[in-house]
């Protein structure tokens, strides 16, 4: 019996096959774009079909340049398949097997990219559960991507003992709940393997591995001394003693890397990783686009891993060179529905379900998305009513009719952009009252109420007020002095901004007036930045729990605005945005 193939795609070659099904490299016929297609095995039962649907849901929600993109889930009477980004690179597993240890800076770079991919999942309340070298793909630019969400699960669900034994956290062995800290443990295990060339517990037999992960000493001696605290933190036996999630672990990683290897550690690490990947460029799946059979040596492995699937779909008709091997890199846009059944088209991380029939091969909308979310244009900006020191109305500065939000900011339903008398732009509840006040010592702006939620900014002009604000938001800063009163904020974390001299923090706590806090369950989070001038710029958000995406957007937009005059890298904006989203998601009260 001939294997079912998704219509509209020409299969180039098989990338892998296993008990669950097969993965192939294919060309989208209308556009010429390379994709990876993952099929369940012929005759698969409903449980296996649901597993692939589940993976599609996970991939479709995780919107990050460090996660392989989903283009479509296709269901037909003949079977189920997902069409996804073909990442033109080689699996970390292949690199380690052929090249050996990567060295500290390169390993830190791989770990950071992988953690950013995990952070995107954690921000959505998803635990990957099977982080391992085979599920990390390294393209020629050295920026790793996370693939295969086949056994991902909601945070807090039963771990069920699933995962790869060499990298499973203690709580997975004992079948306790799966948490983002479980992914942190696995990522740290992979980091040890990258640095040393050996798995943390290189034992044979499931029982021996279980005992080692449950009770064995943490192998900190396998890495250089400056990185041992990082390994001890990430591989702590008790999940409560590890960083709460990938975004928090990125913060620890960057601090340790800067202390050990200087501010430019990452640029050197990326170059080293890229060199290791380029040395294996003949294994890149898209090498077969022009040189058929060139990547044949890497075609083995489980169909559950797209670690050898390749191809950044960006820029129609361009030719990219990697390690001397040229590969066509074409546009992934314009894909149409491909089979009778149900097609789920992903755009901007949201699913649109369309029934597909033989007579109507739609849908006709684009089924791909760019490597970064598209910028959002806000058609209207509301002005805040601001009063001056004597109660007079202050006419706000002229405002633009619309503002284009950066890709890190997603404006959720029920949110709007406001323009205040301090010439600030804030995101708050739509159709809410926006009030501002100006005085000799400072001022404030807040949007909303206890019903809709409230977003608030309080700024200081006087030296005394600025000193109090520094104590509240940055009590450990040199500018705070020694006489700071205890801060009213809890769960404080410092968030490295990536910009020298710019400090950022997150804390749990209400805006300025507890009377306007929505009832529980809610989220109440504060973010503040402080530059070289020593003046904190805070924003606080308190909304009902089901509207928490508004806080994520408001705080992220505030950070982007605060750093707009600096040379902040896009990768740092992505990282801070992921950190804010993860923090808000964990701040339920």
Last-in-domain residue among 299, 321, 356: 356
Please pick, among 130, 183, 446, 549, the residue that the annotation labels catalytic: 130
The Cα–Cα gap between 554 and 562 comes to: 12
Does 13 sit behind a cis peptide bond, omega within 30 degrees of 0 on the bond before it?
no
Last-in-domain residue among 281, 315, 336: 281
Question: Could you tell me if 457 and 328 lie in one domain?
Answer: no
Looking at the 3D structure of the chain, how many domains does it have?
3
Tell whether the model's pLDDT for residue 51 goes beyond 60: yes
Q: pLDDT per residue over 402-438, tens digit each?
A: 777 888 888 888 888 888 766 678 888 888 888 877 7
Is 344 part of a structural domain of the chain? yes
The Cα–Cα gap between 560 and 113 comes to: 21
State the pLDDT at residue 445.
82
Q: Where are the alpha helices (DSSP H) in 70-142?
A: 92-99, 104-122
Tokens of 7: 């219509």
Tokens of 465: 């007020």
Question: Could you tell me if 175 and 263 lie in one domain?
Answer: yes
Q: What is the sign, positive or negative, of the torsion defined by CA atoms of 138, 144, 147, 153? A: positive
Q: pLDDT per residue over 286-309, tens digit each?
A: 554 444 444 433 333 333 333 333
Question: Could you tell me if 250 and 323 lie in one domain?
Answer: no
CATH of the domain at 225: 1.10.510.10
Question: Could you tell me if 408 and 464 lie in one domain?
Answer: yes
Question: Could you tell me if 396 and 497 lie in one domain?
Answer: yes
Is 233 part of a structural domain of the chain? yes
Average pLDDT of span 100-123: 87
Is 363 part of a structural domain of the chain? no
Is 424 part of a structural domain of the chain? yes
Higher per-residue pLDDT: 52 or 210: 210
Q: pLDDT per residue over 365-386, tens digit each?
A: 233 333 333 344 454 677 777 7
Average pLDDT of span 8-34: 79
Is 427 part of a structural domain of the chain? yes
- The whole domain housing 312 covers 9-88+307-356
Sheet holding 415-419, edge to edge: 381-383, 415-419, 425-429
Question: Could you tell me if 439 and 466 lie in one domain?
Answer: yes
Is 1 part of a structural domain of the chain? no
The H-or-E segment that residue 207 falls in is helix 206-215
State the pLDDT at residue 151.
60
- 130 has catalytic annotation: yes
Q: Which residues pair with 22 in a beta bridge?
A: 17, 39
Do 575 and 556 touch, CB atoms closer than 8 A? no
Q: Where are the alpha helices (DSSP H) in 353-479?
A: 463-473
DSSP string over 273-325: HHHHHHTTGGGSTTHHHHSTTTTGGG--S-TT--TT------STTEEEEETTE
A 10 A CB-CB count for 47 gives: 7
Question: Could you tell me if 134 and 154 lie in one domain?
Answer: yes
Question: Could you tell me if 76 and 117 lie in one domain?
Answer: no
Round to the nearest angstrom and report the end-to-end CA distance of the chain.
57
Q: pLDDT per residue over 172-187, tens digit each?
A: 887 666 788 889 999 9
Tell whether the model's pLDDT for residue 347 goes beyond 50: no
Is 18 part of a structural domain of the chain? yes
Tokens of 564: 């707009």
CATH of the domain at 45: 3.30.200.20
Question: Could you tell me if 108 and 84 lie in one domain?
Answer: no
The Cα–Cα gap between 227 and 253 comes to: 9
Q: What is the mean pLDDT of the chain?
A: 73
CA dihedral 517, 520, 523, 524 (to 10 degrees): 30
Question: Could you tell me if 217 and 245 lie in one domain?
Answer: yes
């Amino acid at each position: 019996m001939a294997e079912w193939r998704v219509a509209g795609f020409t299969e180039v070659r098989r990338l892998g096959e296993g008990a669950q099904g097969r993965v192939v490299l294919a060309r989208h016929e209308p556009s010429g774009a390379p994709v990876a297609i993952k099929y369940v095995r012929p005759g698969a039962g409903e449980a296996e079909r649901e597993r692939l649907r589940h993976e599609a849901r996970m991939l479709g929600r995780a919107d990050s340049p460090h996660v392989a993109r989903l283009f479509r889930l296709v269901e037909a009477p003949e079977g189920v398949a997902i069409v996804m980004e073909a990442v033109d690179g080689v699996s970390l597993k292949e690199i380690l097997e052929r090249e050996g240890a990567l060295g500290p800076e390169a390993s830190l770079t791989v770990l950071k990219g992988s953690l950013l991919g995990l952070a995107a999942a954690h921000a959505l309340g998803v635990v990957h559960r099977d982080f391992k070298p085979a599920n990390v793909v390294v393209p020629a630019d050295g920026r790793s991507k996370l693939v295969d969400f086949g056994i991902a699960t909601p945070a807090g669900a039963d771990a069920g003992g699933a995962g790869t034994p060499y990298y499973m956290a203690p709580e997975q062995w004992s079948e306790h709940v799966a948490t983002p800290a479980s992914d942190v443990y696995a990522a740290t295990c992979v980091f040890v393997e990258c640095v040393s060339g050996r798995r943390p517990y290189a034992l044979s037999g499931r029982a021996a591995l279980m005992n080692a992960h449950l009770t064995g000493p943490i192998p900190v001696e396998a890495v250089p001394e400056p990185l041992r605290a990082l390994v001890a933190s990430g591989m702590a036996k008790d999940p409560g003693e590890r960083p709460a999630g990938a975004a928090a672990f990125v913060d620890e990683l960057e601090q340790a890397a800067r202390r050990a290897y200087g501010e430019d550690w990452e640029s050197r690490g990326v170059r080293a990783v890229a060199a290791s990947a380029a040395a294996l460029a003949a294994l890149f799946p898209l090498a077969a686009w022009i040189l058929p059979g060139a990547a044949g040596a890497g075609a083995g492995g489980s169909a559950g891993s797209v670690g050898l699937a390749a191809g950044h779909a960006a820029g129609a008709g361009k030719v990219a060179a990697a390690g001397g091997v040229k590969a066509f890199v074409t546009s992934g846009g314009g894909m149409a529905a491909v089979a009778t059944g149900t097609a789920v088209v992903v755009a901007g991380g949201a699913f649109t379900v369309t029934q597909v029939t033989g007579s109507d091969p739609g849908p006709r909308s684009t089924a791909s998305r760019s490597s970064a979310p598209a910028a959002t244009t806000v058609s209207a900006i509301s002005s805040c009513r601001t009063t001056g020191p004597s109660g007079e109305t202050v006419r706000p500065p002229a405002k633009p009719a619309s503002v284009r939000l950066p890709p890190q900011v997603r404006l959720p339903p029920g949110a709007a952009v406001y323009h205040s008398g301090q010439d600030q732009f804030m995101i708050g509840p739509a159709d809410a009252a926006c009030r501002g006040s100006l005085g000799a010592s400072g001022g404030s702006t807040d949007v909303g109420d206890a019903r809709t939620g409230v977003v608030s900014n309080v700024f200081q002009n006087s030296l005394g007020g600025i000193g109090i604000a520094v104590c509240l938001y940055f009590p450990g800063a040199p500018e705070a002095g020694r006489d700071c009163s205890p801060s009213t904020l809890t769960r404080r974390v410092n968030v490295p901004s990536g910009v020298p001299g710019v400090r950022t923090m997150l804390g749990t706590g209400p805006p300025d007036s507890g009377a306007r806090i929505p009832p529980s369950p809610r989220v109440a989070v504060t973010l503040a930045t402080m530059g070289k001038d020593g003046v904190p710029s805070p924003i606080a958000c308190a909304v009902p729990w089901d509207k928490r995406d508004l806080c994520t957007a408001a705080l992220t937009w505030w950070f982007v605005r605060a750093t707009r005059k600096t040379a902040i890298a896009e990768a740092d904006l992505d990282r801070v945005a992921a950190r804010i989203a993860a923090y808000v998601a964990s701040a339920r009260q």
